[in-house]
Amino acid sequence: MACMFIAMQAYASCESVITPSQAAAKAAASDPGSYCIEGYVVSTVDIYCKTSSYENQSFMMSDQPGGAPVFEAWRVVGVDHTLGIGSFVRIVDATLQMFGDVAETKAGFTVQPISEVVPDLNLPEYGALLTAAQAEAICLSLPYHDTPTEEVYVVHGFANDVITIDAANGIQSVYIADEKGTGYYFQAWECQNIKNINGDYMPIEVGDEVYITGHLSRYNKNAQIKGGYVSRYAAEPYLVRVSADPDKGYASISGKYEFTLAEIQDVQFTMTAVADPGYKFVMWIDPADIDPENPEFATDLLVTKWWLDIYNEYKDLTDDEMVAQGLDIEGVHAITRTIEKLTQPTATLTPEDLEIWRRMHGYEEIHVFHFKAVFRPVNEGIESPSSLKGETERGYKLLRNGQLYLMYEGQMYDVRGAKAE
């Protein structure tokens, strides 16, 4: 999330406006008054909390951005998120007091952001595995209350408390810590249990090693994943994204294109490519296949030709021919089915297709699948990569352990044109 500075309207019109330093001096002089205080947030004292009647937060104020903290805004109300450090704010009609040697407002007065700094968050990549402590730190740094991250994460820990919400539908709230029996909690709030091979929900019990999958969020002072998945097995998250060259057409996606392995039986998504006038859709490819440093695989159309040649080479092989070449019959059929889907402008894929695509590329771990729609001019053909020299004999391509390779002049290349060991 990029750092933003947002100008906001101050709603209250105060006859007497003082600085935090002036407020501290008046509190020390036992002058409670009723003042408007304008200053900068320099540190948080109590990261967002909520009572039964009002939402509030506490922070230290200074006269200047980054200045020394001189006055505490104690449990002021008026915003639905934690104010970022550096924000310029107004406390409206506050009564002042001393608490020990700290000058502060009493609780319950209104804070109004005049200009607000939203924290610049350095979030882990989509699908990252986090400890409960790491996940809590991220949640409590989020600037907005009860607003989940766009990214999906997996949080690992041990169940120290379990509340069954709906046993019939496998819904539980689970509180986890990094170690068994400790009092540190991260919440799986009303999360879904996964099912076993017989289709029965597998509930969590106290002491279980737990994985929570979903979007991180902060609710009051609690770190949580709400409405995600909680299980004794890691439910890896997956995301599918699509793109296209905007001057040639556009791409869209519908269906369940963000999912976990727990949902694998119910998932399918549809990618749709629409060409602009004068262009025609050719194929969906992974943009990572395009290597700008390798002229043999440097353009969308050359990579497309590579995949189409693979498809044309294997799709018409008989089972006997595959056996003679030492190929896995089911594997070849699966590969050609997936490639054929990717040649359609409206392609409906399943997690099985993604797993095949992963194996074909030799990806060991990937959480985000990116498909790009390739278009070409209507009256223009696709040139073969020069490394193929226009030849289509089977000896130039290999299928090894489900991954595709090109043999050229005694050297083996993967689908991205990189030399293979």
Domains and their CATH numbers in the chain: 4-118 (2.40.50), 129-235 (2.40.50.140), 238-413 (no CATH)
Helix (H) or strand (E) holding 351: helix 351-361
For residue 137, how many other CB atoms are within 10 A of its CB? 12
What does the radius of gyration of the chain's CA atoms come to, in whole angstroms? 29
Which pLDDT score, from 0 to 100, does residue 320 have?
87
Q: What is the pLDDT of residue 382?
A: 57
Encoded tokens for 164: 């069954």
Q: Token pair of 157, please?
A: 């820990």
Do 363 and 236 touch, CB atoms closer than 8 A? no
Closest CA to 217 of 186, 240, 192, 176: 186
Query: Does residue 135 sit in helix, strand or coil?
Result: helix
Cβ neighbors of 335 (< 8 A, separation 6 or more) are 310, 314, 356, 360, 399, 402, 404
Residue 15 C-alpha from the chain's centroid: 47
Residue 395, both tokens: 């000896």
Distance CA 219, CA 387 (A): 57
* Tens digit of each residue's pLDDT, the chain (421 residues): 333 333 344 344 577 799 999 999 999 999 988 899 999 999 877 545 544 445 678 899 999 999 999 999 998 888 877 788 899 999 998 999 999 999 999 888 999 999 988 777 889 999 999 999 999 999 988 877 778 999 999 999 999 999 999 999 999 999 999 999 888 789 999 999 988 877 889 999 999 999 999 999 988 778 999 999 999 988 889 999 999 999 999 999 999 999 887 777 778 999 999 999 999 999 999 998 887 777 666 788 888 888 888 888 888 888 888 888 877 788 888 889 999 999 999 999 998 899 889 888 888 778 999 999 999 998 766 543 333 333 333 334 555 665 666 665 566 666 555 666 6
Supply 237's token pair: 């998250």
Strands annotated E in 33-109: 35-50, 55-62, 71-76, 88-94, 96-99, 102-105
Q: What tokens does 121 get? A: 């968050």
Name, in order, each residue with C-beta under 8 angstroms of 365's C-beta and a sequence gap of 6 or more: none
Residue 291's pLDDT is 75
Continuous segment of H or E residues that includes residue 323: helix 319-324
Please give the DSSP secondary-structure letter assigned to residue 291: -
Distance CA 305, CA 308 (A): 5
Residue 381 has a pLDDT of 62
Q: Judge whether 5 and 115 are in contact, CB under 8 Å.
A: yes
Q: Which amino acid is at 240?
A: V
Handedness of CA 327, 329, 335, 339 (dihedral sign): positive
Half-sphere exposure of 361 (CA within 13 A, CB side): 22
Contact 221, 350 (CB under 8 A): no
3-class secondary-structure state, position 51: coil
117 by Cβ neighbours in 10 Å (0-12 / 13-18 / 19+) ranks as buried
User: Which residues in 95-248 belong to E strands, given as ranges?
Assistant: 96-99, 102-105, 110-118, 129-131, 152-166, 171-177, 186-193, 209-219, 222-226, 229-231, 237-244
**151 to 129, 148, 260, 283: CA distances (angstroms):** 12, 8, 13, 28
Cβ atoms of 71 and 103 within 8 Å: the answer is yes
Q: Quote the CA–CA distance of 156 and 164 in Å, as a whole number.
A: 20
E strands within 178-208? 186-193
